[in-house]
Amino acid sequence: MTKPDITPPPLRNDCFALPAGVNWTPVEDALSLLRDRLTVVAGVETVPLAQATGRILAQEVIAQRSNPPQPNTAVDGYGFAGAAPDGPQVMPLHPGRAAAGIPFDGLVPAGHALRVLTGAALPAGVDTVILEEDVTVQDGHIAFHGPLKRGANTRKAGEDVAEGDAVLPAGRRLTPADLALLSATGLAEVPVRKVLRVAVLSTGDELVEPGESAGPGQIYDANRPMLLSLLERMGFEAVDMGRVPDDREALWTCLNQAAERADVILTSGGASAGDEDHVSALLRQAGAMQDWRIALKPGRPLALGMWDGTPVFGLPGNPVAALVCTLIFARPALGLLAGEGWLEPQGFDVPAAFEKRKKPGRREYLRARVRDGRVEVFASEGSGRISGLSWAEGLVEIEDGARHIQPGDLVRFIPYGSFGL
């Protein structure tokens, strides 16, 4: 058989450069669009304080009680009416004592001192405390060296939080320390957002489940376990919708089920405009697809759409791109939907341990980690290199313009922890 004489198109020099004449949305603009358009969808429920860690406050919380509720002593020692002047002081010791939870009931006469223990409410006639280590006790008297200011070694009522103060804002994701604050200020239960349910599904004929035997041309589904655990770590409820082949009918059914079971859907794979890119095709068909051409590397393609009123994030199939798109776009968007508000990941400027030339046009995220105060990047930028994701402990963000980074130059490092992982 003779081969037809077809001239292949010439390989273009710029085949990996940005298409000319097409407007790419800068990352910042894409983020502001999401920020402007998405609003909270999670409902509200009340939970006991002990179960509230990691939950998002639905309302501002007001202190029901001051902390501390009354003036008390910050140390073990002796209390009296201050101040005490310069020089040696001797005071008769008043009988009795005040301890935390066991107040002294009575008046301490002027010029007398009472034994007080840390946390004890200051009795009438006491506003100043001398530390026990600085005191000699003998013959029913205490002796110490002045001066001592009025109010020394005591805590004022409400000096930390006053009753009626706003202690935590709506949208706050509660930490263990927040539970201490809420409990101390008299709260036993808190109004929180219902946990946002996020469905995850993988698409691709090539995918098989971990544990199954994989034939030639098949690969294990890497994105789904990653995305499900990412979402759990970020404090959302991950709903596992499994794998779907590159089949429009099957994907249709799966999206319907996901829209019923979850508030948001994350898909991976099939988001470009190719023959087997059924996620974008279906979303386009549903009429609510935004083909986001975001100037981001690694990231293309990202398909955003609505399925039956449920937002769908069509992530790229490449695991590196899927992770970067989730952290940069899906996570702040999910935060808004969940009632957490818009979250800017906290980055740090760290000297680079690498050299890199970057062309203008796209913002880039490199897999990175900090060692000995310098940030290293993974040797390969290949978007299928899953080992680099696992090697990394965060991302280096390089702004949209051109840049030639030399070792020692400051670059922005965003630890995975800043994304809530």
Residue 288 near residue 279 (C-beta atoms within 8 A): no
Question: Does residue number 269 form part of the binding site for Mg ion (CB under 5 A)?
Answer: yes
Least separation in angstroms between residue 290's CB and ligand AMP is 17
Alpha helices in 215-287 (DSSP H): 223-233, 248-261, 278-285
| Residue 314 in contact with Mg ion, rule: CB under 5 A | no
Binding window for ligand AMP (CB under 6 A); candidates: 17-25, 220-228, 251-259, 339-347:
220-228
Q: 187-226: which residues touch Mg ion (CB under 5 A)?
A: 204
Q: How many whole angstroms separate alpha carbon 247 and alpha carbon 279?
A: 10
Instruction: Say if strands 197-203 and 237-244 run parallel, antiparallel, or are unpaired.
Output: parallel
Piece of 10-18, 221-229, 264-272, 320-328 that binds Mg ion (CB under 5 A): 264-272
How many CB atoms are located within 10 Å of the residue 159 CB?
Answer: 12
Number of residues engaging ligand AMP in binding (CB under 6 A): 18
Residue 268 interacting partner from Mg ion, ligand AMP, none (CB closer than 5 to 8 Å by kind): ligand AMP
Under the binding rule (CB under 5 A), the answer on residue 270 touching Mg ion is: yes
Question: In the set 317, 335, 339, 345, which binds ligand AMP (CB under 6 A)?
Answer: 317
From Mg ion, ligand AMP, none, which one binds at residue 319 (CB under 5 to 8 Å depending on kind)? Answer: ligand AMP
Q: Do the Cβ atoms of 272 and 321 come closer than 8 Å?
A: no
* Per CB under 6 A, 388 contacts ligand AMP: no
d(CA 347, CA 328): 12
The contact pattern for ligand AMP, residues 252-291, with x = CB under 6 A and - = no contact, is ----------------xxxxx-------------------
Which is it for strands 61-62 and 166-168: parallel, antiparallel or unpaired?
antiparallel
Integer distance in angstroms from the first to the last C-alpha of the chain? 58
Residue 119 tokens read as 């946390």
Using CB atoms, what's the residue nearest to ligand AMP? 317
Q: Is 235 left (phi over 0), alpha (psi -120 to 50) or beta?
A: left
Q: Tally helices (H) and strands (E) across the chain.
A: 8, 29
- Near ligand AMP in 3-62, by CB under 6 A: none
Q: Which is nearer to Mg ion, 204 or 314 (CB)?
A: 204
CB of 299 to Mg ion, least distance (A): 16
Q: Which does 55 bind (CB under 5 to 8 A by kind): Mg ion, ligand AMP, none?
A: none
Q: Residue 167 or residue 258: which is nearer to ligand AMP going by CB?
A: 258
Q: Any contact of residue 330 with ligand AMP (CB under 6 A)?
A: no
Torsion of CA 62, 67, 70, 71, to 10 degrees: -140
Which amino acid is residue 200, in one-letter code? V
Give which of ligand AMP, Mg ion, none residue 335 binds (C-beta under 5 to 8 Å, depending on kind): none
Of 63, 318, 367, 415, the one binding ligand AMP by CB under 6 A: 318
SS3 of residue 28 by DSSP: helix
Q: Which is nearer to ligand AMP, 152 or 302 (CB)?
A: 302
- Residue nearer to Mg ion on the CB measure, 123 or 317: 317
Of 65, 64, 61, give the one whose Cα is nearest residue 170. Answer: 61
Residue 50: is it exposed, middle or buried by C-beta count within 10 angstroms (0-12/13-18/19+)?
Answer: exposed
Closer to ligand AMP by Cβ: residue 120 or 279: 279
Choice between 67 and 383, CB closer to ligand AMP:
383
Q: Residue 277: what residue type?
A: D
Residue 180 or 219: the one with the smaller Cβ distance to Mg ion is 219
String of DSSP letters for 315-342: E-SSHHHHHHHIIIIIHHHHHHHHTS--
Tokens (6 digits) for 174: 């509660």
Looking at residues 333 to 372 of the shown chain, list those that interact with ligand AMP (rule: CB under 6 A).
none
CB 165 within 8 A of CB 67: no
Residues of this chain, 365-394, that bind Mg ion according to CB under 5 A: none
**Contact (Cβ atoms closer than 8 angstroms) between residue 132 and residue 76:** yes
CB closer to Mg ion, 269 vs 299: 269
Interface with ligand AMP includes 222 (CB under 6 A)? yes
CA distance 94 to 81: 12
Interacting residue ranges for ligand AMP, rule: CB under 6 A: 202, 204, 206-207, 219, 221-224, 268-272, 316-319
Interacting residue ranges for Mg ion, rule: CB under 5 A: 204, 269-270, 317
